[in-house]
Amino acid sequence: MAASNSRSKAKAARPTTVAAYLASLTPEKRTVIEEARAFVRRHIPKGYAEFMNWGVINWGIPLEEFSDTHNGQPLSYVGLGAQKSYNSLYLMGTYDSSNGKYTPPFSEKLLVDAFKKAGKRLDMGKCCLHFKQLDDLELTSVATVIAMSTPKEYIAYYRRVKGLA
SS3 103: strand
How many whole angstroms separate alpha carbon 35 and alpha carbon 112? 23
126: left (phi over 0), alpha (psi -120 to 50) or beta: alpha
Tell me which amino acid residue 110 is: L
According to CATH, the topology of domain 18-94+102-161 is: Aspartate Aminotransferase, domain 1 (3.90.1150)
- Which segments in the chain show pLDDT lower than 50? 1-9, 100, 102
Q: Where are the domains of the chain?
A: 18-94+102-161
Q: Rounded to an integer, what distance in angstroms lies between the CA atom of residue 74 and that of residue 85?
A: 27
CA atoms within 13 A on the CB side of 125: 13
pLDDT tens track for 106-148: 567 788 899 999 999 999 887 889 999 999 999 999 999 899 8
Residue 11 pLDDT: 60
